[in-house]
Amino acid sequence: MTVFVCAGCDAVLSAPVSQVALPVHAHQKWGNGVLLPVLMESGTYAVDPDPWGPPWRRWSEVGEDEAAARGVFAPVYALSYGAPGAIVVAPGDTRGTVLIPDRCGGHCCGLTGGDGPNLACERCGRAVATRIDDCSLWQAVWFAPDAVRALPADGPAAGPSGWEAAAIRERPGPPPVDQSGQWSPQWEAAAGAGLAHLLAASSGTPLNVPGGLLRDLFGRPLDVLLPGGAPARTVAPAGPGLPVADPAPDIVLVPRHPRTGDPWQPPGTARAVPLPAEVWASLAFPRERLPVPASGGLPDGVLRDDPPPLRPWRPLWPDQQIFLDTLARLPAVRQPWLRGIYDRVRGHSYPHLF
């Protein structure tokens, strides 16, 4: 367990927290005026290895070579020149902070952090963090990496780091579809990032995606963005708890470890596409979820029809901005065919492309 303290006066600024992987939807903007919940589970924190937040510089000021040195290989509207390594926690896990009144700007219903850090250490007044809680943004507090220090803290031991012990199959994740038939924003974020990696792994050739939830996730976008025809490369989940497929697929969807964020490494020569562990588990071990508690069970292979299973009212639209941000950071995007897809999605009215 870790506790974060002010780098200026050592005042405690967080509850004891343990590190987990950065959620793929950490910087997602979803919907219009939607009040999204808290990003991080209570008692956890994550670190963003990439710069994020002000100051920002436009692509035209930076240039292709400098952007590539910062890990961005395709044009973006602006690059962050903030410090990498920001630490995100749930707002309820902060301690000893106060709002900075002249930095409380937002777009609609709350704070966006556009004015820079808006939380100060209550003891010494040092700006230490940014609270974000505006509509369409995930609620979070981001500690500036140069404003805090991490110290060991008493608390329960961190979970195991091994793949089998992580019990990924049993991790409760968000259902793909809610009771209103709306796709989960976490799933749209995972689809956006996964689609970028799938396209890079495809080398521009057709992909054969099996039916079911996996087809819902990637089928339509791949049909639009990649050529049709045969032969097509095969795609299937692979990871802990799954038998080795024979014949082996050309591309495998693998989980990121829920604690470390490292992708599971498949045996053989298949190219791996990482997905959030909870999304991967739903694809690898599909099961119907009930919207209300129920007792008893049904035989394997029999689906419950009362209450009816949750179904979406529209196709899933991979999150456009997460797709573009992910693809822009893959060196493969410099290949002309993939750069053409990037420019097409970036310049197209979305989600009508799919």
In the Cβ-directed half-sphere of 41, how many Cα atoms lie within 13 Å?
A: 13
Determine if the peptide bond prior to 293 is cis (ω within 30°): no
CA distances to 35, 179, 191 from 281, rounded to whole Å, are 27, 21, 14
C-alpha 132/C-alpha 91 separation (Å) is: 9
All residues at 6 or more sequence positions from 34 whose CB lies less than 8 Å from its CB, including other chains: 135, 136
Joined tokens for residue 316: 């899933």
DSSP string, 134-160: -TTB-BEEEE-TTTEEEEE--SSPPPP
Per-residue pLDDT of the chain (354 residues), as tens digits, is 999 999 999 999 999 999 999 999 999 998 888 889 999 999 999 999 999 888 899 999 998 999 999 999 999 999 999 889 999 999 999 999 999 998 887 677 888 888 889 999 999 999 999 999 999 999 999 999 999 999 998 877 666 567 764 556 556 678 888 877 888 999 999 999 999 999 999 999 999 998 888 999 999 999 999 988 777 889 999 998 888 877 888 999 999 998 889 999 888 778 999 999 999 988 888 765 555 555 566 666 666 555 566 677 788 889 999 999 999 999 999 999 999 999 999 987 666 676
How many other C-beta atoms can be found within 10 angstroms of the C-beta atom of residue 325?
19
Question: From CA 347, how far away is CA 354, in angstroms rounded?
Answer: 14
Q: What is the torsion angle, in degrees rounded to the nearest 10, for the CA atoms of residue 22, residue 25, residue 27 and residue 33?
A: -150
